[in-house]
Homo-oligomer: A and B are copies of this chain.
Amino acid sequence: MQKHFISPAVIRRLPRYYRYLSELLEEGIERISSSELSRKMNVTASQIRQDLNNFGGFGQQGYGYNVQYLYTEIGKILGLDQQYHLIIIGAGNLGRALANYKKFEDRGFKIKGIFDSDLSLCGQPVAHLTIQHVNQLERFIKEENISIAALTLPKEQAEDMAKQLVDYGIQGIWNFAHTDLQLVKNVLVENVHLSESLMRLSYRLTNR
């Protein structure tokens, strides 16, 4: 398939398509029409056709979409056919929760280590890992070719840690700290602000 420009709005929706396609595969469904997929995903069939037309002509009249093909192609666009090595910084409950997600590995994210600044935690097992001290980060990131760091730290520590990580060669930060890490250059930051999500729910409850 030839690479071409895909709009950011489509890109934002791709992970959701990918998730639904993976569920269809698990159910053994080989092809699906845009109207069936539309019902499942609760978006219009025309939106689905428009979005998936970005991936070439494999939605065929009277046939629908080949689930496996679409899944694979979207996976390639999202970079899931590559393997990214990931570490977790902060071995609190959230860090441990991430370390235990089995799904990440299936999608090309290999969790290689978990780190904390608290010496008393170091050596403890978490999932298939052992907690290491943050003073091992520089060596580890280089030796293990780590490109992504998940930050599950208090916001006071996040900014300094992020800067260090960039110096050590980290390319992407998956940030769970309650700050936007704007001061950090030369790194891609994807924020997960849980409290903002809860506020959106609160807004909808209050104004329903």
Contact = CB atoms under 8 A, between A and B. Distances in A.
Interface of A: 11-12, 14-16, 18-19, 41-42, 77-80, 82, 84, 92-94, 96-98, 100-101, 103-104, 107-109, 147-148, 171-172, 174, 178, 180, 182, 188, 190, 192-208
Contact of A16 (B84, B148, B196): B196
How many copies the complex holds: the figure is 2
Closest 8 CB pairs of A and B: A79-B206, A93-B97, A15-B196, A190-B201, A94-B97, A15-B199, A79-B202, A93-B96
B206 A19 contact: no
A197 to B, nearest CB: 5
Nearest to A208: B188
Contacts of A199: 14-15, 18, 78, 80, 107
6 contacts: A12-B200, A79-B202, A172-B202, A188-B204, A190-B201, A192-B197
Nearest to A204: B188
A188 B171 contact: no
A104 B208 contact: no
A78 B202 contact: yes
A190 B182 contact: no
A71 B104 CA distance: 38
A153 to B, nearest CB: 13
B78 A206 contact: yes
A14 B172 contact: no
B180 A197 contact: no
A173 to B, nearest CB: 8
A14 B205 contact: no
A150 to B, nearest CB: 8
